[in-house]
Amino acid sequence: MHYVSTRGHDGHASFSEILLGGLAPDGGLFLPEIYPRVTPDELTQWRSLSYADLAFEVLKKFATDIPESDLGALTSKTYTSTVYRNCRSGEKADDITPLRTLEKQDGNTLMLQSLSNGPTLAFKDMAMQLLGNLFEYTLAKQHAELNIFGATSGDTGSAAEYAMRGKKGIRVFMLSPHQRMSAFQTAQMFSLQDPNIFNIAVRGVFDDCQDMVKAVSNDLAFKAKQKIGTVNSINWARVVAQVVYYFRGYLAATTSNEQKVSFTVPSGNFGNVCAGHIARMMGLPVDKLVVATNENDVLHEFFRTGVYRVRKSAETYHTSSPSMDISKASNFERFIFDLLGRDSARVKALFAKVEHSGGFDLSGAAGSDGDEFKQIGQYGFLSGRSLHADRLRTIREVFAAQGLMIDTHTADGIKVARENLTPGVPMIVLETALPAKFNETVSEALGRDAERPAGFENIESLPQRFEVMNADVDAIKAFISNHTGL
C-alpha cells in the first residue's frame, strides 16, 4: 500500500513516511492509491472483536509498513477502558464507542454512537490518542524528535496535548487567544503539568495565533532546525483512525451483513465524514452519509447544489456549535478527488480556482466547471443545516424524552438526522462531544448545568501552567528554541 496526492504527486510514500507530515509536496492531500476492500467473511469475523482488535484489523490494511505485532501493541495500548472511561450511566467503557437507541417509530430507528468518552470529552480523542502512540513509536525508530506547533480555540489543541503529554521525543507548543476560551477548555489545557507541554496564551484573537503559526511554517530554515510539525485535521492517520468507529457502529447496529445503516455526522473540516466515505468505499454496507452543518453551511450548499463556495472571515459566523464554524473544509479535497474519478489534474485546477476565485461549480449548469455532481447519489451523501434555535429545541427534546443530555454539535446531528430517515435503515448519529464542554448553551436550553463526568468536577480550580505572550513572531520563535535547545 502506498499513498498518492490528490494533486498528482506520487512519491510511492508509505504510511510511516506520511505519518509525521501534513500536505503532500504539491499541496494536495494524501490518499491510498486504492482503497482496500473488506470481504463479507472478514466483516462477519470482525463482529466479535474488541474495539482495539477491530482497530488493528482496519489499520493493518493501511499501515502495511508497520510490523503487525507492533501495530497490535499500539492499538491495544490506545483503545482501553481506562483511556475512554468518561461514560454515562448505561454505557460500558469496554465498548469504547457505546451505541444506544434514541428513538424507534414507524420502522425508523435513530441511534447515537458515543465518540466522546476519551480524556478531553470530544471525538477528536478517538484519532489523536492513536496518533500520540504512533508518533512516539515512529520517532523512537528513527531516533528523531518532533516539536508540534499549533494554534487552537479549544478542541483540537486540548486533544493534541492529552495525546502527546509525556510522550518521548515530542514537545507541544500550543497558542491560544488569552482569556478567550471557555473556563472549562482553558482549565483542561492549562492544568496539564507535563514538562513536554507548553501552553502559550497570546494577547490577541484566534486569527493572530493562526497568523503566527503560518509565519513560522513559512520560515523553512527555522522549521527544519526546530523540527516543527503539526497535527491538523488533514493528517492521514487521523482520518484512518476514524474509519474504525464506522465499522464498529455498523457492527453494533446490525446482526447480518445484508443489513445497511446510515450515519449522520456533525461536520466542520469534513475529516470525520470523510472517514465514513472511506469506510463505505472499503465495502462497509453504509446507505447514506448525512453531513450536518450549522449556520456555516458551505458543505450543505455543495451537497444541495454542486457549488462549493468558501466563505470569507466576515461571512463565517461564531455559533453555539463552534467546532463546526469553518469557512472552508480542509478535508473536502479528498472526496472531490474520488468524485472526479481521481483525475488529479482537474483536482489541482479546481483547488487553484478555490484559492483565486473562492470556489468551483460541478452542477453542470452553463459556465460551470463540470457536471460530476450528477453522480453524487452513488456516494450516498445527503446534507442538512441546523441553527441555534434548532440546537436548543433538540437538546430539550432529547432530555425530556430520554433524560439524556447532549452537546450542541450532537444536537445539530440529531436535528438533521431526523430529516433524513429511511424506514428499515437504522440511522446512527455520531456524538462528537459531551455536553460539559459546551455548558453555556446546554444550560441555556435546559435551565440547569450540564453533567460533568467524574474527575472533572473542580477542574477550574486546579493549578494552571501557561505563558502569556504578545502576538510577536520573533518572541514566539525565541521561546520555542529556548525550550527545545536545538
Ligand X SMILES: *Cc1c(COP(=O)(O)O)cnc(C)c1O
Q: Please identify which residue in 118, 249, 268, 276 interacts with ligand X, judged by CB under 6 A.
A: 268
Q: Please identify which residue in 230, 232, 323, 344 interacts with ligand X, judged by CB under 6 A.
A: 323
By CB under 6 A, residue 266 contacts ligand X: yes
Q: In the complex, what is the shortest distance from the CB of residue 24 to ligand X, in angstroms, rounded to a whole number? A: 19
Q: In the complex, what is the shortest distance from the CB of residue 275 to ligand X, in angstroms, rounded to a whole number? A: 8
By CB under 6 A, residue 28 contacts ligand X: no
By CB under 6 A, residue 270 contacts ligand X: yes
Q: In the complex, what is the shortest distance from the CB of residue 412 to ligand X, in angstroms, rounded to a whole number? A: 8
Nearer to ligand X (CB atom), residue 229 or residue 271: 271
Residues in 29-48 at the binding interface with ligand X, rule: CB under 6 A: none
Nearer to ligand X (CB atom), residue 137 or residue 162: 162
By CB under 6 A, residue 433 contacts ligand X: yes
The interface region with ligand X, picked from 44-52, 212-220, 266-274, 477-485 by CB under 6 A, is 266-274
Q: Please identify which residue in 272, 383, 386, 394 interacts with ligand X, judged by CB under 6 A.
A: 272
Q: In the complex, what is the shortest distance from the CB of residue 320 to ligand X, in angstroms, rounded to a whole number? A: 12
Angle, helix 271-281 to helix 332-339, in steps of 10 degrees: 30
Is 477 part of the annotated catalytic residue set? no
Nearer to ligand X (CB atom), residue 66 or residue 243: 243
Q: Please identify which residue in 109, 129, 199, 269 interacts with ligand X, judged by CB under 6 A.
A: 269
Closest residue by Cα to residue 92 from 128, 123, 51: 51
Binding mask 151-170 for ligand X (x = CB under 6 A): ----x---------------
The interface region with ligand X, picked from 2-10, 54-62, 263-271, 350-358 by CB under 6 A, is 263-271
Nearer to ligand X (CB atom), residue 118 or residue 169: 118
Name 201's bridge partners: 176, 468
Nearer to ligand X (CB atom), residue 185 or residue 344: 185
Q: In the complex, what is the shortest distance from the CB of residue 159 to ligand X, in angstroms, rounded to a whole number? A: 8
Q: In the complex, what is the shortest distance from the CB of residue 223 to ligand X, in angstroms, rounded to a whole number? A: 25
Q: Please identify which residue in 158, 186, 267, 441 interacts with ligand X, judged by CB under 6 A.
A: 267
Q: 3-state SS of 292-357?
A: EECCCCHHHHHHHHCEEECCCHHHCCCCCCHHHCCCCCCCHHHHHHHHCCCCHHHHHHHHHHHHHH
Q: Please identify which residue in 271, 276, 285, 306 interacts with ligand X, judged by CB under 6 A.
A: 271
Q: Which residue has the cell 483547488?
A: 351
Which among 124, 227, 288, 477 is annotated as catalytic? 124
By CB under 6 A, residue 235 contacts ligand X: no
The interface region with ligand X, picked from 85-93, 268-276, 332-340, 342-350 by CB under 6 A, is 268-276
Q: 3-state SS of 176-241?
A: EECCCCCHHHHHHHHCCCCCCEEEEEEECCHHHHHHHHHHHHHCHHHHHHCCEECCCCCCHHHHHH
The interface region with ligand X, picked from 33-41, 267-275, 359-367, 478-486 by CB under 6 A, is 267-275
The interface region with ligand X, picked from 133-141, 260-268, 280-288, 364-372 by CB under 6 A, is 260-268
Q: Please identify which residue in 117, 296, 432, 439 interacts with ligand X, judged by CB under 6 A.
A: 432
Nearer to ligand X (CB atom), residue 147 or residue 272: 272
Residues in 66-125 at the binding interface with ligand X, rule: CB under 6 A: 122, 124
Give the count of residues interacting with ligand X (CB under 6 A): 16
Q: How far apart are CA 334 and CA 349, in angstroms?
A: 14
Nearer to ligand X (CB atom), residue 117 or residue 269: 269
Q: In the complex, what is the shortest distance from the CB of residue 155 to ligand X, in angstroms, rounded to a whole number? A: 4
Q: In the complex, what is the shortest distance from the CB of residue 417 to ligand X, in angstroms, rounded to a whole number? A: 14
Cell of 133: 502512540
Question: What is the contact surface with ligand X in residues (CB under 6 A)?
Answer: 122, 124, 155, 233, 266-272, 323-324, 409, 432-433
Question: Could you give the residue numbers annotated as active site?
Answer: 124
